[in-house]
Amino acid sequence: MNSKIKWLRDKIERMNMQGMIVSNPINIQYLIGIEAEGILLLTRKENIYITDGRYLEQVQSVLTIEDEIIVTNISDVSEYDYDNFFMFCENVGFEENYVTYAKYKEYKQKYRINNLVETENIIEKGRMVKDEQEIQNIKKACEITDNCFNYIKEYIKKGMTEKQIASEIESFFIQNGAEGLAFETIVASGENSSKPHAIPTNRKIQSGDIVIIDFGCKYNGYCSDMTRTIFIDKVEETAKVIYDLVNKNQSLILSQLREGANTRNLSKMVENDFKLHGYDLIHGLGHAVGLQIHEEPFISSNRMETILKENMVITNEPGIYLAGKFGIRIEDTVLITKNECITLTNSGKDYIVIED
Amino acid sequence: MNSKIKWLRDKIERMNMQGMIVSNPINIQYLIGIEAEGILLLTRKENIYITDGRYLEQVQSVLTIEDEIIVTNISDVSEYDYDNFFMFCENVGFEENYVTYAKYKEYKQKYRINNLVETENIIEKGRMVKDEQEIQNIKKACEITDNCFNYIKEYIKKGMTEKQIASEIESFFIQNGAEGLAFETIVASGENSSKPHAIPTNRKIQSGDIVIIDFGCKYNGYCSDMTRTIFIDKVEETAKVIYDLVNKNQSLILSQLREGANTRNLSKMVENDFKLHGYDLIHGLGHAVGLQIHEEPFISSNRMETILKENMVITNEPGIYLAGKFGIRIEDTVLITKNECITLTNSGKDYIVIED
């Protein structure tokens, strides 16, 4: 049987559930590698994926006999089938943080379930620690991202618009083995760089600009995430000081990231150092990366405290943003190990000055 | 009091509810004109909008004393307040198709509500029929879209990429009074035009191409939606026949759209005529437009049947898609009136041939 399904079956058994309805498409992708519209049922006897005609061919081509998943066209599922899927199940789990109240009621009625019980994000919690294959996918996505940065450094010229650069990044990703973007690329120049979530505009890159490039791609469904801040022609003294402060804190956090590190303490560390120098950490310090670009755990003093574990993959992205002036952010995607972290994005972090 | 809140209060009173929690941000935008993160409570005595520090200033600047809405910072809401919001309310409504099961439980507990009851999309149903102000906003969005098409017809030259044209459309919108895109612009050329939901690529426009341009903008939060199919240099005979068939059906539907028309019958009409000529209607014939680009009702034979009403705003977008070859789609946004429909997008539908 598919190993992740096996893992989930063990988990729910220990929670005294005899079945589960998995509805969240990202969780389904995680468990059985399928990106489609459908629902996954773990019943006493079988694993059943119900989808529709549009996806049947694609789904059948991905699954093998070893997966032990029965694929069914929703139009072939009878009322009798629905009645029987969870027969003799005392408790059936569902995803209470994804399923709407209306769907919950529909499930209860359609599947004739007496105890439809909450599963407290068990799958999301499992997704926090990556397996070897997932790590390889993220590594590959990070490698393509590093290559893209090498290329784009040479590509950028004064007079180009932020949008043009963002578009070239996307083209590079597609032409170099990525499936697409992990998220909308940020190319934020001049005063736009002071907005952490800037959207590329038609502003033209000019001499003296600071440009934040925050970008990532997907490989086999898995994301990468990297930010570099570059300078056009020169690095002003005021920007240098802030760049150094951000860079120092980014390095500091890299040295602290390992199994056992406390996410809230990591964030506090940067917050305190920024405050000492008169700045605020207005944006989260990091987040996990996987099938989604933003996953649990988040590294922030406003979020739930998490103790990092081996094989989590997270970002480390301190930034300082001076409204209306400029911003500096440096970000890597890293793999947590027992005693240290391994940076998966490896582009240089010395002042990157583009002259042409 | 804000007239939409008043309308909603009447509605819920007739459903024997003494209060309601509105969580869906689009519904909140519809009711009180605010785009922010927050929750709207209709209690026995007051209308309360709870948001956080990031949005307070913006929210206060939009609301006036006539709205009779109390704005509160979530950090100032005490447990005592939560206990009291719905005191003496027998039934309190919530949005069962938006709220997750976990949130439903949280609401019940936090607000100490005995009967948290389903509201069966009452707000969404209200949104189906537009008021004068909403119609004006959609008209304006459609006018900007027509102007954009006039501009872009002149802009398009052979050798440009689909992405470049899509980007120019977006720039035009922003520079001409729109807030932004109603949805991601489709510019699909050559064989790409055979995919109804194509994403703009780096494919270059060339002689003989058929290009589908499906685009719309937002004005005061309200969307427009229009598609025109254009030809580069020449119109091949095979394309002409299909264009004429699509155009004829689009006109036919325009002549049928009025209060009382049945959405399923409209769709069947086009389906049958396409079938007679050997083609299929593989994509929905239309949908309502409002704060969201796709709203109820949908005009399709697979969807719920709806009888159109005066002041609904819908699209009419028949299309024929020949996989791997090309596609033709023609779409207008129209306003339903008692005896006819008024097209809000008015760009010409004769063969549009671009030569340069």
Mutation choice for B interface testing from A23, A101, A195 by most B CBs within 10 A: A101
| DSSP secondary structure code for residue B185 in this structure | P
pLDDT value of residue A145: 98
pLDDT at A356 over 80: no
A–B: how many Cβ contacts below 8 A? 39
Is the Cβ pair A99, B101 closer than 8 Å?
yes
Q: Residue B3 pLDDT more than 80?
A: yes
- Rounded Cα distance, A238 and B155, in Å: 43
Q: Check residue A19 and give its pLDDT.
A: 97
Q: How far is B336 from chain A (nearest CA, A)?
A: 31
Q: What is the DSSP letter of B82?
A: H
Give the ipTM of the model, two decimals please. Answer: 0.81
Give B46's DSSP letter: -
- 3-state SS class at A314: strand
Could you tell me if A313 and A344 are in contact, meaning their C-beta atoms sit under 8 angstroms apart?
A: yes
- In B, residues 139-178, which contact A (CB 8 Å cutoff)? 163, 167, 171
Q: Is A102 in contact with B97 (Cβ distance < 8 A)? A: yes
Whether residue A97 and residue B100 make contact (CB cut-off 8 A), yes or no, is: yes
Q: A97 touching B, CB under 8 A?
A: yes
Element (DSSP H or E) covering residue A85: helix A79-85
Report the pLDDT value the prediction gives residue A208, as an integer from 0 to 100.
96
Q: Give the pLDDT score at B90.
A: 93
Q: CB contact, 8 Å: A179 with chain B?
A: no
Distance CA B21, CA B48 (A): 10
pLDDT of B133 reads 96
Q: Is A99 in CB contact (< 8 Å) with chain B? A: yes
pTM, full prediction: 0.84
Taking the CB of residue A184, how many other CB atoms lie within 10 A of it? 13
- Does residue B327 register a pLDDT over 90? yes
Look over chain A and give the mean of its residue pLDDT values, rounded to a whole number: 95
What pLDDT was estimated at residue A303?
87
What does the pLDDT average to over B263-270?
A: 97
Query: From the candidates B101, B162, B181, B283, which should be mutated to test the interface with A, based on the most A CB atoms within 10 A?
Result: B101
- Which residue is closest to A202 within chain B, CA to CA? B171
- Residue B286: predicted pLDDT: 97
End-to-end CA distance of chain A: 57
| Residue B316 near residue B115, CB atoms below 8 Å | no
pLDDT digits (tens, 9 = 90+) for B91-142: 999 999 999 999 999 999 999 998 999 999 999 999 999 999 999 999 999 9
Determine the pLDDT at residue B318.
98
List of chain A residues whose C-beta atoms are within 8 Å of the C-beta of residue B98:
100
Q: How large is the average pLDDT for residues A143-170?
A: 95
Q: What pLDDT is attached to residue A349?
A: 97
pLDDT in tens, B23-58: 999 999 999 999 889 999 999 999 999 998 888 888
The answer to whether A102 contacts B118, with C-beta atoms less than 8 Å apart, is yes
Confidence of residue A58 (pLDDT cuts 50, 70, 90): confident
Name the pLDDT band for B323 (thresholds 50, 70, 90): confident
- Please report the pLDDT score of residue B80 as a whole number: 95
- Flag if B167 and A163 touch (Cβ within 8 Å): yes
Question: In this predicted structure, what is the pLDDT of residue A111?
Answer: 96
* B101–A96 C-beta distance less than 8 A: yes
Reduce the DSSP state of residue A273 to 3 states and report it: helix
Please judge whether A96 and B118 are an interchain contact, meaning their C-beta atoms are less than 8 angstroms apart.
Answer: no
Expressed in angstroms, the distance from the first to the final Cα of chain B is 57
A202 vs B contacts (CB less than 8 Å): 171
Which pLDDT belongs to residue A55?
Answer: 87
CA A78: distance to chain centroid? Answer: 38
A75 in contact with chain B, both atoms CB, cutoff 8 A: no
* pLDDT attached to residue A56: 87
Q: How far apart are CA B333 and CA B289, in angstroms?
A: 8
* Least Cα separation, residue A101 to chain B (angstroms): 4
Diameter over CA atoms, chain B: 74
> Is pLDDT above 90 for A94?
yes
B204: its two tokens:
């270059």
B56-89 burial by CB neighbour count: b if 16+ within 10 A, else e? Answer: beebeeebeeebebebbeeeeeeeeebeebbeeb
Q: Does A105 touch chain B (CB under 8 A)?
A: yes
- CA B243 to chain centroid, in Å, comes to 26
Is residue A118 within 8 angstroms of chain B, CB to CB? yes
Instruction: Give the pLDDT confidence of A115-128 residue by residue, as tens digits.
Output: 999 999 999 999 99
pLDDT at A306: 95
* DSSP structural state of residue B203: P
* Whether residue B302 has pLDDT greater than 90: no
Q: Is the pLDDT assigned to residue B356 strictly greater than 80?
A: no
Question: Where residue A4 falls among pLDDT bands split at 50, 70, 90?
Answer: very high
pLDDT top residue among B201 and A10? A10
CB B155, CB B197: distance < 8 Å: no
pLDDT band at A1 (very low <50, low <70, confident <90, very high): confident
B313 vs B2, more confident: B313
